[in-house]
Structure 1
Amino acid sequence: MRSSSANQRGFFFNVDWLTVLLYLILVTIGWFNIHSAVFDPKHPEVIGFDTNYGKQLVYIIAGVVLAIVILLLDNRFFIAFASIFYAITIILLIAVLIVGRNVGGNQAWIPLGSFRLQPSEFAKVTTCLLLARYLSGPNIRITEWKSFLAAGAIIGVPMMLIMLQPDTGSTLVFCSLIFVLYREGLSPWFLIVIALIIALFVLTLLFNQLYLILSLVVLGLLVIWMFKHYRQVVFAVLIGLAISISFIFSVKYIYGHVLKQHQKERIDILLGLTTDLKKKGYNVNQSKIAIGSGKLWGKGYLQGTQTRYSFVPAQSTDFIFCTIGEEWGFAGSLTLIGIYLFLLLRLVAIAERQRSPFSRIYGYGVASILFFHVMINIGMTIGIVPVIGIPLPLISYGGSSLWSFTILLFILVKLDSNRMGTISPA
């Protein structure tokens, strides 16, 4: 009996209550801003399914219950069932392509009565679990091609299925897991190459192809002349030039035949290649107006005219940050970003203090996904990244999103509560 009581006290003190507090702060901020964005005086009740804020409060209560259940589970449960959970989400991602409901051009939801389940949200959790299980296995080295390709397959399979919906935003979220691979020993050259590919893609759209190719050739010849006595450098530069020039020629094809029309229009608007404030550029333009109108301290709670009167589309989901900017101003927006930054730093610190490789890898997966969501969501509302439709974690309206981030966070909190122990794949 004493041993059991001691274990319970130990568990209580080992739980990272600061992370739990940050979670509760964020979901509370989220609910108040959803309430303000879509408040309807005809339906003043806060619990129920007549309004988005009523539904969200129910989702939050269910999320807290879910978090408690996770904290009561054994750590070994997550690694033991990682493969099964991953397989279930893959089956659901296939099912959504067959029986899913199309909303806004994406067939990403499975209707369950009045609730719509979005499997892609939960796929983030199960992918992190299986990736952590695989990379923490014996004789797995991410620097070896076999291990790298296997890890890439774990990440790539749900990405391909989600892309078929098609949901570009949710697909790109999985790219953030490259940071996990980097932490586990992947060469930084992979990150550099990815950054160069993105930069070259943008430059190809902005400038004449011939001028861009000539500039790269001149730069390449200059590097070859400087390092002419180093054959490896010369060879690498020649290979790089060949690949870059081939990529430049392929960009037009990708842009014209792979990307959808609305995606091309959003990129054109972002890069300043076209202006369309009434149609495709309307969302971002109204978003910037709403955030800018909040000035330093904001208009006050329930006083956001731009968001409350539907000038900003999706004001309680993808563009919820507009409500924060308009009603709480620059100060409120900066405070929210500060809370997210504090949470991200906390998650990295938690991941680094784990003795178990599984827990450390999973922790970096959580931090990477959260970072990507926050950066892209806020970035698209202020017009510095294309609008790809991903929620602001724990703030945006939606049960699937809220529960998936709850599961992500609290599995890590649970693993961390037993950080002095070690768990490894069977």
Structure 2
Amino acid sequence: MAIGDKPKYDIASIGIYLSLVIIGLLSIYSAAPVEKYTTITDINQVYGKQFLFIGVCAVLIIVILAVEVKFYERFAGLIYIVSLLSLVGLFLFGKEVNGAISWYPIGSFTFQPSEFAKFATALAVAKFLSQLNVSLKNVRDFMIVAGIIALPALLIVPQPDPGSALVYSAFFFALHREGLSLWYLSLGVIALGLFLGTLIINIGWIILIIIVVISIMYLLSRKRKHNKRLPKPRVYLYVIAAIICIAYTFSSSYIFNNLLEDRHRNRIDIVLGRVQDDRGIGYNINQSMIAIGNGGWTGKSLDEATQTRGGYVPEQHTDFIFSAIGEVSGLVGTLATILLFMFLIYRIIIMAERQRNQFARIYGYGVAGIFFLHFFVNVGMVIGLLPTVGIPLPFMSYGGSGLMGFTILLFIFIKLDAHRMSYEH
């Protein structure tokens, strides 16, 4: 960008952001736990507070776009340290809400630092990986970036807030783009498969499957031994792999039965079909699915949206806001919402790939990963495909901290992208 040229902000991503925020506000209005609706600006109601949060976000956007572009890279480390200190401070000054100490009380409002730690971590990861001579193929560098990602997650888990901690696995997308092998993702998929397998299938069958699969892998590797470019298969490596998998299987069973809380075990059991409890722990998911089904093709009016209007879906204006969209706007509305999220994520990836600066590209992939994981887990949870873990739907679930955190996350990248032609280290 030549000197004097105005930055060109990505209109498509800004337009999708505004669409999602407006749909979210209207959905919160429809799902508000009130007997009589008032104006959407009524600060005494959740939709009025959300309207206020949107106003705060408008100010934040102006500030983010006004700040000098190199500020975000230059102060990434400091922002990350402040976010870690804010998470540590919860153990001393935090307020307990719904069994979790995840908020600071500020008058009649609350502040959730974990929502802001996401963009701080994305900045820190981008800052570290964009340094000269840093490579994910180097064990030391990989351990450092893994530590940067793990630290906030480890501080969030004891709150307890496993859902927010889960979000940090989204940084795999950025790491993979920068050269991390897909083998790491494969290991994660195998670990998840073994964990769920121990809950569904008898552990004896799981061990037999492990032995059969690894034996087949060894036999196939022996058939390729004539290829001089490939290393010769070592049987002891396959034996060690089998032992590790079997040991992990036993540890998974122990973790599930002894370390997870009852509510988390029950939610996993319900999703896996091991327990049917539509009136107890599975009430939220069951009512959510009824609400979505009641919406039909084009949705119901507020008078006809019995699940939403009657308040039958607990916490519908927060984590279960997608069920309100499903009942009030029907299949058309839910598909439109899904397409908006998919296009936003796709657009962010396109923007990330056109960056000339590595810091901006890595940060962009971090943003895309976080949005994807939030969207995928929240929608999967609401329709009963995933356990309830308390992850909000970006820009749409009620909450000032979440809305502001996601807004900052997105608009920092929009700022970086607008200066991509002139921004260098």
- Class of the TM-score when normalised by the shorter of the 2 chains: over 0.9
The Cα of 1:236 is off from its aligned counterpart by 3.8
- The answer to whether the 8 A contact 2:70-2:423 is kept is no
Q: Per the alignment, in what secondary structure is the counterpart of residue 116 of structure 1?
A: strand
Match of 1:127 in 2: 121
- Give the length in aligned residue pairs: 417
AA in 2 matched with 1:380: M
Q: CA deviation at 1:116?
A: 0.3
Q: TM-score, normalised by structure 1?
A: 0.95
Offset of residue 223 of structure 1: 3.0
2:170 matched to which residue of 1?
176
**Residue of structure 2 in register with 1:306 after alignment:** 307
Corresponding residue to 1:136 among 110, 130, 139: 130
Shift of 1:39: 6.4
Following superposition, the deviation at residue 42 of structure 1 comes to 4.5
Given the alignment, which residue of 203, 207, 212 partners 1:209? 203
- 1:311-322 residue pairs with structure 2 within 5 A? 311-322=312-323
Superposed, which structure 2 residues align to 1:310-349 within 5 Å? 310-349=311-350
CA contact (8 A) 2:61 2:411 kept: yes
Partner of 1:22: 16
Contact kept, 8 Å, 1:37 with 1:304, in 2: the verdict is no
CA shift at 1:71, angstroms?
Answer: 0.7
* Contact 1:358/1:423, CA 8 A, preserved across alignment: no
2:107 partner amino acid: G
Provide the rounded CA distance (Å) in 2 between the counterparts of 1:112 and 1:75: 31
Alpha-carbon distance in 2 for matches of 1:132, 1:189: 22
Say whether 1:110 aligns with 2:104: yes
Structure 2: how far apart are the matches of 1:273 and 1:72?
53
Q: How does 1:246-395 map to 2 (within 5 A)?
A: 246-301=247-302, 303-395=304-396
Decide whether the 8 Å contact of 1:176 with 1:368 is kept in 2.
yes
Distance 1:239 1:323, change over 3 A: same
The whole-number CA distance in structure 2 between the counterparts of 1:172 and 1:219 is 29
Structure 2 counterpart of 1:342, one-letter code: F
Task: State the secondary structure of the residue aligned to 1:228.
Answer: helix
Residue range with higher mean Cα deviation, 47-56 or 263-272: 47-56
2:154: which partner in 1?
160
Q: Which structure has greater helix proportion? A: 1
Structure 1, residues 380-401: CA drift from partner, whole Å, max 9, x if none?
0000011000110000100000
Q: Which residue, 210, 217, 221 being the options, matches 2:215? A: 221
Whole-angstrom CA distance in 2 between matches of 1:305 and 1:291: 11
Distance 1:237 1:272 in 2: 34
* Cα shift readout 1:31-81 (whole Å, capped 9, x = no counterpart): 011011116464613224200000000100110111111111111111111
Q: CA deviation at 1:304?
A: 1.9
Question: Please, which runs of 5 or more residues in structure 1 have no aligned partner?
Answer: none
Residue number among 37, 46, 65 corresponding to 1:71 in the alignment: 65
The correspondence for 2:47, drawn from 48, 53, 60, is 53
Runs of 5+ consecutive residues of structure 2 not aligned to the other structure: 226-231
Name the SS for the 2:233 alignment partner: helix
1:218 Cα deviation after fit: 2.5
Identity %: 42
Aligned partners of 1:227 and 1:234 also within 8 Å: no
Mapped partners of 1:226, 1:81: distance in 2: 51
- In structure 2, what is the Cα distance between the partners aligned to 1:99 and 1:412? 32
